[in-house]
Amino acid sequence: FRRKNGLTMNLYELLETGFPKDKSSCAIETHDGLYYSWDDLEKATSKMANLLASLKLPQGSRVAVQVEKSPEALFLYLATLKAGLVYLPLNTAYQAAEIEYFLGNAEPALVVCSPKNHAWVTKVANKCGTKHVLTLGDDRSGTLLEKAGKLSDKFKTVKRADDDLAAILYTSGTTGRSKGAMLTHKNLGSNAKVLQKFWAWKKGDVLLHALPIFHVHGLFVASHGALLNGSKMIWLPRLDTKELIKHMPRSTVMMGVPTFYVRLLLDKDFNKHTVRNMRLFISGSAPLLTETFNLFKERTGHTILERYGMSETVMLVSNPYEGARVGGSVGLPLPQTQVRVIKDDGKLCGVNEIGNVEVKGPNVFKGYWRMPEKTKEEFTKDGWFKTGDVGRWGGETSAGKVPNNYLCIVGRSKDLIISGGYNVYPKEIESFIDDMPGVDESAVIGVPHPDFGEAVVAVVVAKPSAKLNPDGMIAELKGKIANFKVPKRLIVVPELPRNAMGKVQKNVLRQTYS
C-alpha cells in the first residue's frame, strides 16, 4: 500500500492491484443479463476519466453525482478517482431543496444527474455556480456516455498523496444541517486493505450487490471489497428478495443492512438450498436484532457477521471471520483502528460499563467540509473522534455472554433515527414540520419497526384554534424531503411532555408511541 517514495497510491491504483490477469473475465453481471468484463470496466473508466480531464477542472474539484444505480455509475466513481477529483455521491431520494443545500455547500465543478432530472438539477446547479451538468441514466443513456464514448480508452491515473480527498459524504447533523465528511485516499485505501484480510476475501468469491451506491456500505465496503479482490459482482439495482434468492446460489458473499435479512427470512423460498454456495453474510449500518441473527442461523446454518462503521470512519469494528461471531455485538476493533469507551468524566469504562465510543486510526476522516469548528468539536483534544454512539465492552446480550474484548452498541448520544439503514436527524424533520401552517411545535422520534428497524414518527402540537390534517401534512412532506425521512405516522397532541428544565422528553414519547 505504501510506496517506497512515501506517497500513498491513488485509491484507484490500489484497487487495480486486485483486478484479475484475465481481463476477459466477468467483473459485473447485471440482474437483466448484461456482462461487463474487467476490460470493459477499465476502458469505460478511462474514457470517463478522459472526459473529466477534458473539462480542465482545478485540482480538488468535486464531482457531485445523483444517479440511479448502474455499472456505469460505478465506473464514474472510479473515473473520478482515476482523474484525481473528489467524488460526492447523493442519495437518489433527495429532493430539490436538499440537493440545493448540498450543491451550495460543496460547490461542485460538475454535477451528474439522471436524464429525467436534468431540467431542475441544471437550474439548481447554475444557482450554485456549477458550470457543468451531465446526465447518466441506468439504461446507458445520457450525455456523459455520449461524450465519453468518443474519447480514448486509455488514461494514466493521476497521482494522489495520503491526505488528498477521494470523496465527500454528506451525513446529517444534529443541528439539522448536513456536514460533508472528507475522506482521503488513505482513509478508504487502508480500510479496504484491512477488510480484505479481516473478512478473508478469497479467489473465486462472487459478491451479491443489492445496496445503493451512494453511501459507505454499498459504495466503499461492498464495491471496494470485490474490486480489490478481483471478484465478480452480481449487480442488482435495489433490494428485491426474489432477485436475491434467484442469484444467491451463484454468489459467495452478501452485504446488507438488517432489513435485507428480515425480508429474506419472511420469504418461504429462502432456505439452506438457496445459500448452498454462500461463504459469508455481513450486516451493518444499523443494529441487527439478536432475533434476526438467531432465526437466520436456524434457517440457513449461517452466522451473520455484524460489523460497525460510519461515514466519518468507514469500518471500525467487526465480528471475526474465524472465531466467535456474537449476536448483539459488533465485535473487535479492526487492525490499525483503536476504539475506546469512555465515561462523561473522561475515565475509561471497564468491562460492562456503558460510555461513549471514540476512535482513532488511518480510517478516520480528515474533517467536515468547510466546518473547522464543527470538526474541532467532534474530536477530543488528544485526537479521538467522538462517534456519538454509546457502547460497552463485553457483558451479555439475549444471544448470550459477550467476550470482554467485543464491543456492543447500546444506544446513541446523538438524536438520530436509523430507518432501513438510512440516517434521519429529527431536528431536520422538525424544522420542516414547524414551518407548516398551523403548527406550534413538533417532536420527531424513532419507534421500533419490524421491517426498517426504526420508523420515523412525528408528534405535533397545533397552534390555538388551528386544525391540522396529518395525512395532508405527510403528503406535503413527501414533496419536500427524501421519502425515507417522511414520518410514517404524524400524531397531533395537545402538548409535548417536558422535564423540569422545559426540555421535550423524547424518551416518554418513544415509550408512548412505540
Which of ligand AMP, ligand MLC, none is residue 152 near (CB under 5 to 8 Å by kind)? none
Least distance (Å) from ligand MLC to the CB of residue 219? 9
280-283 and 305-310 strand pairing = parallel
d(CA 138, CA 170): 23
| Dihedral sign, Cα of residue 211, residue 320, residue 192, residue 22 | negative
- As measured in angstroms, the least distance from the Cβ of 38 to ligand MLC is 25
Minimum Å gap between C-beta 206 and ligand MLC is: 20
Pairing between strand 35-37 and 26-30?
A: antiparallel
Nearer to ligand MLC, 155 or 198 (CB): 198
Cα separation values, 387 from 48, 360, 380, 419, 457, Å: 36, 10, 11, 18, 24
User: Minimum distance from CB of 218 to ligand MLC (Å)?
Assistant: 5
The C-alpha atoms of residue 489 and residue 472 are separated, in whole angstroms, by: 12
Shortest distance, CB of residue 50 to ligand AMP, whole angstroms? Answer: 32
- Our CB check for ligand MLC shows the closer of 136 and 455 to be 455
Burial class (CB in 10 A: 0-12, 13-18, 19+), 296: buried
Nearer to ligand MLC, 113 or 257 (CB): 257
User: Choosing among ligand AMP, ligand MLC, none, which partner's interface includes residue 218 (Cβ < 5 to 8 Å by kind)?
Assistant: ligand MLC
* CA–CA separation, 362 and 474 (whole Å): 42
- 278 near 252, Cβ under 8 Å? yes
**Residue placing its CB nearer to ligand MLC in the complex, 79 or 288:** 288
- Partner residues linked to 461 by β-bridges: 441, 493
Binds 306, which of ligand MLC, ligand AMP, none (CB < 5 to 8 A, cut-off by type)?
Answer: ligand AMP
Q: ∠ CA 412-417-421 to the nearest 5 degrees?
A: 105
420 binds, among ligand MLC, ligand AMP, none (CB under 5 to 8 A by kind): ligand MLC
Cβ proximity to ligand MLC: between 148 and 433 the closer is 433
Which of ligand MLC, ligand AMP, none has residue 131 at its interface (CB below 5 to 8 Å by kind)? none
Among ligand AMP, ligand MLC, none, residue 412 binds (CB under 5-8 Å by kind): ligand AMP
Distance CA 12, CA 81 (A): 6
Q: Shortest gap between Cβ of 356 and ligand AMP (angstroms)? A: 12
Q: Please state, in angstroms and rounded to a whole number, the distance separating the CA atoms of residues 271 and 94.
A: 36
Interface residues with ligand AMP (CB under 6 A)? Answer: 171, 216, 284-287, 306, 308-311, 330, 387-389, 409, 412, 418, 423
Q: How far is the CB of 205 from ligand MLC (least distance, A)?
A: 20
Nearer to ligand AMP, 52 or 216 (CB): 216
Q: Taking a C-beta distance cutoff of 8 angstroms, is the pair 416, 390 a contact?
A: no
Nearer to ligand AMP, 132 or 412 (CB): 412
Q: How far is CA 308 from CA 133, 359, 439, in A?
A: 36, 12, 38
Gap between the Cα atoms of 101 and 91, Å rounded: 13
Q: Are the CB atoms for 311 and 216 separated by under 8 Å?
A: yes
Residue 217 binds what, of ligand AMP, ligand MLC, none (CB under 5 to 8 Å, by partner type)?
ligand MLC
Nearer to ligand MLC by Cβ, of 189 and 212: the residue is: 212
Q: Which does 158 bind (CB under 5 to 8 A by kind): ligand MLC, ligand AMP, none?
A: none
Q: Does residue 143 contact residue 114 with C-beta atoms inside 8 Å?
A: no
Q: Which is nearer to ligand MLC, 55 or 295 (CB)?
A: 295
In sequence order, the 6+-apart residues with CB closer than 8 A to the CB of 511 are: none
Contact of residue 292 among ligand AMP, ligand MLC, none (CB under 5-8 Å per partner type):
none
Which of 155, 201 has the CB closer to ligand MLC?
201
Secondary structure of residue 197 in the 3-state scheme: helix
Residue 159: DSSP 8-state: P
Q: How far is the CB of 115 from ligand AMP (least distance, A)?
A: 28
CB of 306 to ligand AMP, least distance (A): 5
In angstroms, the CA 215 to CA 221 distance is 9
Q: And the C-alpha cell for 307?
A: 460489523
Q: Which of ligand AMP, ligand MLC, none does residue 287 bind to, with CB < 5 to 8 Å depending on kind?
A: ligand AMP
Residue 259: contacted member of ligand AMP, ligand MLC, none (CB under 5 to 8 Å, by partner type): ligand MLC
Q: Minimal distance in Å, beta carbon 418 to ligand AMP?
A: 6
Q: Minimal CA–CA distance to 89: which of 222, 220, 214?
A: 214
CB of 170 to ligand AMP, least distance (A): 9
Give me the residues that bind ligand MLC (CB under 6 A), please. 211-212, 215-218, 238-239, 257, 259, 284-285, 309-310, 419-422, 452, 483-484
Whole-angstrom Cα distance, residue 65 to residue 213?
11
DSSP character for 504? B
Half-sphere exposure of residue 509, counting CA atoms within 13 Å on the CB side?
Answer: 24
Of the pair 251, 419, the CB lying nearest ligand MLC is at: 419
